[in-house]
Chain A
Amino acid sequence: MPADAEGQALEIRGLSKSFGRFPALNDVSFAAADKEFLALLGPSGSGKTTLLRVLAGLEQPDAGEVRFRGEDYLAIPARRRRAGMVFQHYALFRHMTVAQNIGFGLKVRPRAERPSRDEIRRRVGELLSLVQLDGLDKRFPAQLSGGQRQRVALARALAIEPRMLLLDEPFGALDAQVRRDLRRWLRELHDRADVTTVFVTHDQEEALDIADRVAILKDGKLIQLGRPQELYDDPASAFVYEFLGAACRLPGMVEAGRLRIGDWTTAAPPGAPSGEVSVYFRPDEVGFGPDGLAAQVRTVSARGPDLRVTCVAEGERLELLARGALPDGVTAGGVARFVPARFQIYPRTA
């Protein structure tokens, strides 16, 4: 498939959509490469599902443009987009068997393009083994487990040989272990198919684990788009930082190139905002020692291989994680000193 001038298969420009007064999407623009696996990550109400439904053709945006593989995608009706969608609650056809569900997209094709009955049966069989559901073809959706339904929904979407695969929180209703297994499996499936995948989730771990790039949305706006490591290392805002994992926040002050938190000072990184700031760091990226920030230790407890140190510094309650032994004196009721190994500085708000 020829990508267009910028080498991007999917281009979204200025996409906006409101439901009544509620702006679900607000001027969203980004591009994705062909066969890229893109995750849309955001809290509920951030517009990620609306964006997915616009791509599927189930919603028309109020403004904006979507181009896919050189075509004006919005001008194509939903049924001709060949966008395979997996719905959050699977939306399996309840009165059809598994095989009928998977074969539906082939069976409803116009007569000229419709594969023969035998061909459909063969393709359904292939898809059943692809999603590891051999032998379940005569079951009804109600007779399947959540994970099995999810895989039927995926097989049904893949049956139309989609150019774009759209997944709306596909693992949302499954338990943690099944989620992790399906995640790797889904990624392998994507890599084998000629498809651009857009995956909606509110689970940051899932997004960072599975996607080539992650788009973070909030209140209908695109906040940041980047590869998982880029996002994790350099979150564009305090919101992104907090959303991507456990975060500790302390008030600080940047003056004359120095960052000061309480009685601890260090060189401010280049480009840091000045004045009153919020300093963010991950609870496991701290080093305990004789120097650094002073904190009143409340409790110390074991958490797997780590020690969890609950303490109060600068009036903020922190839960820090220490790997291995703690220095002497770091016990409940004592004072600990620690230095954040890596931190991010954002202007202080409210």
Chain B
Amino acid sequence: MTRIRLPGLAPLMLVLVIAIVGLLIVMPLGVVFAVAVSKGLSAYLAAFQDPDAQSAIWLTLQVAAISVPLNAVFGLAAAWAIAKFEFRGKSALMALIDLPFSMSPVVSGLVWVLLFGAQGWFGTWLEDHDIKVIFSTTGIVLATVTVTLPFVARELIPLMQDQGSDEEAAAVTLGAGGFTIFRKITLPNVKWALLYGVLLCNARAMGEFGAVSVVSGKIRGLTNTLPLHIEALYNDYDFVGAFSVASLLAGLGLVTLILKTVLEWRFSSELSVARRR
């Protein structure tokens, strides 16, 4: 790595950037924890004793436990198809996978209401068959999957494209079948990138607000996820409660950051995101 000495303006820019990061990222994070414990540790812990809070934690874990594996499977399948095969409309497919990143999450939630809501296209049919999608865990999972769709695929596609399919071809000539090749060649070659994608996907799945708020109906103790529960507490002027629960999400963010950094540091050659730097 070559280092160049910073010319005149650079130290000034550096100071500016550090100030902005401090003001917009470090300080709010500190405020979250500070307000959370401002009324003492017992008040902090009490926020988690609330049955609504526990229900929100449980629901959030459930939603993540369903949508993250779904996304991992989808991401692997999409990346595999895109990286290892030639077909028409490949670039269109890649652009579509990226769409949730550029679209407001509210839209991702609204489409499901439009389809499955009481006034939606399939609303009457669902009601007749007593199936609840909107205002239920199913709807929250659908919205979460939509919003987090690109995470795993985007991490895997460049890596798998880079690796090519020579190793798979070699495995075929050595007598391996399709499933063996996937299990012993393809998957081990992308395992750290997959974990990296899953990690980011999980953080987003647990923290998603916009799309989930549209479909959940915000029924306390029933369809409120952690971010929605925090909003509800805040609207009730229960600041300590709101910030206490928020500290949980902030902690998740920090843990994700640490794990992500460890992965980038330890397995940089096996991650496409780190390689692009």
Q: What's the Cα separation between A246 and B162 when bound, in Å? A: 38
| Contact B169–A91 (Cβ < 8 Å) | yes
| Contact B172–A160 (Cβ < 8 Å) | no
Q: Does A108 interact with chain B (Cβ within 8 Å)?
A: yes
Q: What's the Cα separation between A119 and B170 when bound, in Å? A: 22
Q: A95-B188, A108-B180 are in contact. Are A56 and B173 (CB under 8 A)?
A: yes
A81: B residues at CB distance < 8 A: 173
Nearest Cβ in chain B — how far from A232, in angstroms?
Answer: 33
B170: A residues at CB distance < 8 A: 85, 87, 91-93, 156
Q: Does B185 interact with chain A (Cβ within 8 Å)?
A: yes
| Contact B172–A79 (Cβ < 8 Å) | yes
Interface band, chain B: 10 to 19
Q: What's the Cα separation between A171 and B223 when bound, in Å? A: 64
Pick from B166, B185, B189: contact of A89, CB under 8 Å: B166
| Contact B175–A91 (Cβ < 8 Å) | no
Nearest Cβ in chain B — how far from A21, in angstroms?
Answer: 14
| Contact B174–A58 (Cβ < 8 Å) | no
A85: B residues at CB distance < 8 A: 169-170, 173
Q: Does B99 interact with chain A (Cβ within 8 Å)?
A: no
Q: A87-B166, A89-B166, A94-B189 are in contact. Are A78 and B171 (CB under 8 A)?
A: no
Q: Does B177 interact with chain A (Cβ within 8 Å)?
A: yes
User: Beta-carbon contacts of A23-61 to B below 8 Å, as 1s and 0s?
Assistant: 000000000000000000000000000000000111000
| Contact B167–A105 (Cβ < 8 Å) | no
| Contact A93–B185 (Cβ < 8 Å) | yes
Q: A93-B185, A95-B189 are in contact. Are A79 and B175 (CB under 8 A)?
A: yes
A84: B residues at CB distance < 8 A: 173-174
Q: Does A104 interact with chain B (Cβ within 8 Å)?
A: yes
Nearest Cβ in chain A — how far from B271, in angstroms?
Answer: 14
Nearest Cβ in chain A — how far from B216, in angstroms?
Answer: 42
| Contact B173–A58 (Cβ < 8 Å) | yes
Q: Does A342 interact with chain B (Cβ within 8 Å)?
A: no
Q: Does B262 interact with chain A (Cβ within 8 Å)?
A: no
Instruction: Give residues in B with beta carbon < 8 Å to A.
Output: 166-167, 169-177, 180, 184-185, 188-189
Given contacts A79-B174, A87-B170, A105-B174, 6 further A-B contacts (CB under 8 A): A91-B169, A93-B170, A93-B171, A104-B174, A156-B174, A159-B174
Instruction: Give residues in A with beta carbon < 8 Å to B.
Output: 56-58, 78-85, 87, 89, 91-95, 104-105, 108-109, 156-157, 159-160, 166
A sample of 23 inter-chain contacts (CB < 8 A) reads A56-B169, A56-B173, A78-B172, A79-B174, A79-B175, A79-B176, A81-B173, A84-B174, A85-B173, A91-B167, A91-B170, A94-B167, A94-B189, A95-B189, A105-B174, A105-B175, A105-B176, A108-B176, A108-B177, A108-B184, A159-B174, A160-B174, A166-B173
Closest 7 CB pairs of A and B: A105-B174, A91-B166, A91-B170, A108-B176, A85-B173, A95-B188, A78-B172
